[in-house]
Amino acid sequence: MIKIRHIFTAFITGFIVSIGSGVDAVPRKLTVEEINSIAKQTTVLIAPELTKEEIDDLLDRKPVKKWTVGSGVIIAKEGKKYYVLTVTHNFSQKQITADTDYGIVTSDRDKREVHRVTEINDGKECNDDFFRRIKNQSLEATLVRFGCFESQKINGYDLAIVSFESKNNYPVASLGDASKLKEGDKVYISGWPKIEAEPKLKPDGTPQLDSEGKIICKDPAPRRQRRLAWGKLQVSTPVTEEDNGYSLYYTDHTRPGMSGGPVFNSDGKVVGIHGRGSANKLICGQIYKSISNNNSASKDSLEAENNWQYSSEFESENTLLQNQKQQAQNDWQPFSEFEYQNNLENDSNNNKNNSGLLEQNNNLSLKRMYSSAQNVDYSRQLITQVGINLSFKLEGPSKSLIESEIKQVPKIPTSPESGISKKSEFIDPNEANEGGFEDPNDTIENIYELFGFNVENLGRDKPSGGDESILLD
């Protein structure tokens, strides 16, 4: 009887283990180290080519405004061709029209290799009905845009697929089900910050200003580190073209340059594509001033300049959405999450008979407070809608993918948002509800040299043998 019981127990245990490895099984929540391992292998850096003159300017600490650095994630592979999901504002209409060469840096960053992307000009002009004119797209196209970016404005959806070819074997990210996300769920964002787009701060945390009162940008720096940030999902809204497809809102610990990077759930699956930071962020190049609220307490605020457009910062360059004149007229100022919740309640009480105004106010509040992303479920629908047939990886990340790049991650500073009340100044990231760090094990030592891949300009690049890529000596 005991033997039979043991056999039965072993059978049940084996059955549970078996179904536990299936697609529909309920997976365990991964650690920060495990999420970071997946992110390191599937997140890519995307940027246009740099000329020698531009590199010289950057090394002389002169900003090169048209050089946009963004991120992306590998979502499919067909033969030797890899497909990267990113945001369309990583490719401005001006760069498209000029057919600018781009580069993609993959997980083998230690090889100092960049995959060259050419022929990105799709022949499409940027206008209000851009998305409605997209149909019957080919897998052969280097770049497929679901929206366009021109004059600080996006028409259509802020989403794009860019492809590259390589004989190397790169991991493909698993796609999750964004509809299963709940408010309060932890999400993780991976991407490559663009240092030149960030404000230079004083020791007390306030921004350095030039003689005109504009926020000074950080000095260019060739060394880069990938960032992993995380926070709680605040709300998931219906997807609309008017909002360029943004529908997932989460606490903001991202940085400029992370646009197009993957948003992972706790299972290590991609549920969104990050693209906007909150409007509470300091933006270099804008006029800065301190103003007082109704309680006469000083608060930091950004003043609209040169008809900049409101709302959230696209996080691959200093770009804002919608008319920021409204911001000045409404005496706009950053505010806390507590104030945001109160505003929602007040809006609900004051606008019960005006659902349109309530929705507008709520969306404005969301954009002020939180980072946001494209919903990957809707992204898949758009991809199918324009006639692209890709095989996505829907099962969870493999054990080997999870474990192959696990490294010790740095501790993060404690903060009220972390949810930790310890006296220690630094804590294990797994203990924090939200936060972020730059991965010391995932770096690019000289991004300027890496993207100066025009042999005629630099004279020190060599093709890496057969693929559309350049390997620096």
> Tens of pLDDT along 372-409?
999 999 999 999 999 899 999 999 999 999 999 999 99
Q: Does residue 62 lie in a domain region?
A: yes
> How far is Cα 454 from Cα 12, in angstroms, rounded to an integer?
61
> How far is Cα 170 from Cα 84, in angstroms, rounded to an integer?
12
Report CA 285 to chain centroid distance, whole Å: 21
Q: Return the ∠ at Cα 275 (arms to 118 and 103), rounded to 5°.
A: 20
Q: Does residue 114 lie in a domain region?
A: yes
Which residue intervals of 351-393 are DSSP H helices? 355-369, 376-385
Please name which of 172, 186, 150, 159 lies closest in space to residue 274, comparing C-alpha atoms: 159
pLDDT at 289 over 80: no
What residues contact 79, with CB distance under 8 A and at least 6 apart?
Answer: none
Summarised one tens digit per residue, pLDDT across range 327-354 is: 333 333 333 333 333 444 444 444 444 4
Query: Which pLDDT value is given to residue 291?
Result: 45
Q: By the 8 A CB rule, do 183 and 231 touch? A: no
Q: Does residue 319 lie in a domain region?
A: yes
Q: Return the ∠ at Cα 265 (arms to 408 and 223), rounded to 5°.
A: 45
Report how far apart, in Å, the C-alpha atoms of 261 and of each of 40, 92, 254, 297, 325 are.
Answer: 11, 17, 10, 37, 30
Query: Which pLDDT value is given to residue 58?
Result: 85
pLDDT band of residue 145 (cuts 50, 70, 90) is very high
For range 72-93, the mean pLDDT: 97
Please name which of 118, 97, 122 lies closest in space to residue 48, comparing C-alpha atoms: 118
Q: By the 8 A CB rule, do 278 and 321 touch? A: no
Q: pLDDT > 70: what percent of the chain?
A: 72
Q: By the 8 A CB rule, do 457 and 52 touch? A: yes
Report how far apart, in Å, the C-alpha atoms of 83 and of each of 76, 144, 180, 257, 319 are.
Answer: 5, 10, 25, 20, 26
Residue indicated by tokens 């300027």: 448
Q: Return the ∠ at Cα 143 (arms to 460 and 38), rounded to 5°.
A: 75
Please name which of 104, 161, 163, 68 lies closest in space to residue 469, comparing C-alpha atoms: 104
Q: What is the largest CA-CA distance in the chain?
A: 88
> How far is Cα 41 from Cα 74, in angstroms, rounded to an integer?
9
Q: Does residue 188 lie in a domain region?
A: yes
Q: Does residue 435 lie in a domain region?
A: yes
Residue 187 is part of a domain; what is its CATH number?
2.40.10.120
Q: pLDDT > 90: what percent of the chain?
A: 54
Q: Does residue 110 lie in a domain region?
A: yes
**CB neighbours of residue 229 within 10 Å:** 26
> How far is Cα 309 from Cα 288, in angstroms, rounded to an integer?
16
pLDDT at 208 over 70: yes
Lowest mean pLDDT among 22-36, 221-235, 422-436: 22-36
The mean of the pLDDT values for the chain is 79
Q: Does residue 17 lie in a domain region?
A: no
Query: Which pLDDT value is given to residue 463?
Result: 36
Across 310-324, b (16+ Cβ under 10 Å) vs e yields bbbbbbbbbbbbbeb
- Residue-number span of the structural domain to which 440 is assigned: 32-334+370-472
Q: Does residue 357 lie in a domain region?
A: no
Q: What total number of domains does the chain contain?
A: 1
Lowest mean pLDDT among 50-59, 131-140, 201-210, 426-435: 131-140
> How far is Cα 289 from Cα 107, in angstroms, rounded to an integer?
41
For range 131-157, the mean pLDDT: 90
**CB neighbours of residue 2 within 10 Å:** 6
Please name which of 468, 473, 433, 430 lies closest in space to residue 450, comparing C-alpha atoms: 473
Q: By the 8 A CB rule, do 277 and 320 touch? A: no
Please name which of 393, 432, 452, 468 lies closest in space to residue 32, comparing C-alpha atoms: 432
Query: Which pLDDT value is given to residue 308?
Result: 27
For range 148-163, the mean pLDDT: 95
Which helix (H) or strand (E) segment holds residue 453: the answer is none
- The pairing of strands 43-48 and 412-413 is unpaired
Structure tokens at 439: 């991965």
